[in-house]
Amino acid sequence: MVQNFLGYGIELWGLMATGDIARLFAIDLLINPETRGTQDIHHVITAVASSSSIKSAERFISQHIAPRQSQAIACLAYSSYEEIVQDANVDIVYIASPHSHHFQNCMLAMEYNKPILCEKPLTVNANQAQKLYETAKQKNIFLMEAVWTRFFPLSIKVRQLIQDGEIGEVLRVYVDNSTGVDISKLGANHRYLDMGLAGGALLDIGIYPLIWVFQTMYHTREKSQRQKPSRVFGMLTYEKTSGTDQMVSAVVEFPASAPNGNTASHGIMATSMVLSNDPDDSRVSGATVRIQGLKGEIQVHGPVHRPEWIRIIHKTAKDGSVQGYESRDIHYDIPAGGHGMYWEADEAARCIRDGKIESFVIPWDESVTIMQVVDKIRAQAGYTYPEEIESTQYPLNLKKRTVS
């Protein structure tokens, strides 16, 4: 990271892949950080790599970067991921390939000691995640899973409320992330429907309910008090043509918390690609996340991955008996017309500036534990992906993008 004359740390980003989320991330990165109150970090994009063609990288730069970044800053186009990880003018790579490829792409970046922010889910399974974090530790390289929702001010507030005891001990969390995609309109090789790209609901959108379950029931405890799930029960249905998973329901049980917990707690998650938790797009279908404690409830409204507002409901008590309820709402803005991805980028940049290799907000062991839950749900359904994308061998040549 270089320092400018005003004392800002300037993070030089290289983007690996040129798909949908890379575009949203690039636009967010180049929004003036002061619009969200960030005074210590600036981001610039110095390189973009496409595994399919140099044209794709060049087009991405001219459409999404050039209009937003000073022409004085050179942004190079590369036609391979191998080139971008060797660019000395890149402080950190953002990996935005399909999740099937994250393990190989992260290993490649670490071969050249490049710090990484890698899109969710970090990998296809827990063994791959474990191997990545072990490699990062051994080589002293920053590695963070891009679970952007956890960096929203709304999420930070929810975690703080729970830690402050606002709703008492949390016994149950319900989360439904069902996005209502019209699968018939997707091309046959869309990543959602491609087993070779680790398609399906669980890894793509089911990961968010688990992110919520863990950030409310696990991460809110002191590190020494965090206990791994005692049991996981899951069910899964398949999309008939592609064989990818389409709908998943699961219960994650956490053991009673020592020393003051009195009972086990349940994280209940549902996800579906074809059903929707907001069927008429009206935002009036109710809370998508409900965090239920002995003294009240926190409800989260809006998309599970990009939440908008919360309602805090308290039991009011007098002389030990419940008298009624009171509630208050807090609405959150995503400043400057952004998508909300800049907060995770700020965190990654600060970690690198401060010499950290792991973010406290999504610690490595928690990221692996979440993937272990995913593995358990998949194992109960006997749901596996092609061997090469489940593998922890590196290097392996995986399927390339087909450009039509």
Residues of this chain that bind ligand NDP (CB under 6 A): 17-22, 50-52, 56, 96-99, 101, 119-120, 146, 148, 191, 197, 204, 305, 399-401
Which CB, 173 or 207, lies closer to ligand LJPVP2WV? Answer: 207
- Residue 84: CB atoms within 10 A of its CB come to 26
Q: Are 109 and 95 in contact (CB under 8 A)?
A: yes
- Reduce the DSSP state of residue 257 to 3 states and report it: coil
Count of residues interacting with ligand LJPVP2WV (CB under 6 A) = 4
CA atoms within 13 A on the CB side of 85: 22
Instruction: Compose the 150-179 pattern: x for residues touching ligand LJPVP2WV by CB under 6 A, - for all others.
Output: -----------------------------x
Q: Which residues inside 184-223 make contact with ligand LJPVP2WV, applying CB under 6 A? A: 204-205
Which CB, 14 or 98, lies closer to ligand NDP? Answer: 98
| Residue 251 to residue 172: CA distance in whole angstroms | 10
Which CB, 83 or 166, lies closer to ligand NDP? Answer: 83
Which residue is closest to ligand NDP by CB?
19
Phi, psi of 242 (to 5 degrees): -85, -25
User: Which partner in ligand NDP, ligand LJPVP2WV, none is near 179 (CB below 5 to 8 A by kind)?
Assistant: ligand LJPVP2WV
- Nearest distance from C-beta of residue 208 to ligand LJPVP2WV, angstroms: 7
Q: Are 231 and 267 in contact (CB under 8 A)?
A: no
Query: 55: Cβ–Cβ under 8 A, 6 or more apart, which residues?
Result: none
- Residue 54: CB atoms within 10 A of its CB come to 14
| Residue 334 to residue 149: CA distance in whole angstroms | 12
- Nearest distance from C-beta of residue 341 to ligand LJPVP2WV, angstroms: 10
- Nearest distance from C-beta of residue 346 to ligand NDP, angstroms: 15
| Residue 300 to residue 313: CA distance in whole angstroms | 11
How far from each other are the two terminal CA atoms of the chain, in whole angstroms?
A: 38
- Residue 243: CB atoms within 10 A of its CB come to 14
Which CB, 242 or 257, lies closer to ligand NDP? Answer: 242
User: Which partner in ligand NDP, ligand LJPVP2WV, none is near 18 (CB below 5 to 8 A by kind)?
Assistant: ligand NDP
Instruction: Compose the 296-315 pattern: x for residues touching ligand LJPVP2WV by CB under 6 A, - for all others.
Output: ---------x----------
Which CB, 204 or 346, lies closer to ligand LJPVP2WV? Answer: 204
* H-state helical runs in 126-284: 126-139, 153-163, 201-204, 207-217
- Nearest distance from C-beta of residue 221 to ligand LJPVP2WV, angstroms: 26
Q: Are 66 and 33 in contact (CB under 8 A)?
A: no
Which CB, 255 or 303, lies closer to ligand LJPVP2WV? Answer: 303
Q: Does 28 bind ligand LJPVP2WV (CB under 6 A)?
A: no
Which CB, 321 or 404, lies closer to ligand NDP? Answer: 404
Query: 217: Cβ–Cβ under 8 A, 6 or more apart, which residues?
Result: 170, 173, 254, 265, 267
| Residue 274 to residue 4: CA distance in whole angstroms | 48
Which CB, 114 or 378, lies closer to ligand LJPVP2WV? Answer: 378
- Nearest distance from C-beta of residue 345 to ligand LJPVP2WV, angstroms: 16
Query: 93: Cβ–Cβ under 8 A, 6 or more apart, which residues?
Result: 13, 14, 15, 16, 84, 85, 109, 114, 115, 116, 117
User: Which partner in ligand LJPVP2WV, ligand NDP, none is near 98 (CB below 5 to 8 A by kind)?
Assistant: ligand NDP
Assigned token pair, 4:
């400018």
- Nearest distance from C-beta of residue 42 to ligand NDP, angstroms: 22
Which CB, 197 or 345, lies closer to ligand NDP? Answer: 197
Which residues lie near ligand LJPVP2WV (CB under 6 A)?
A: 179, 204-205, 305
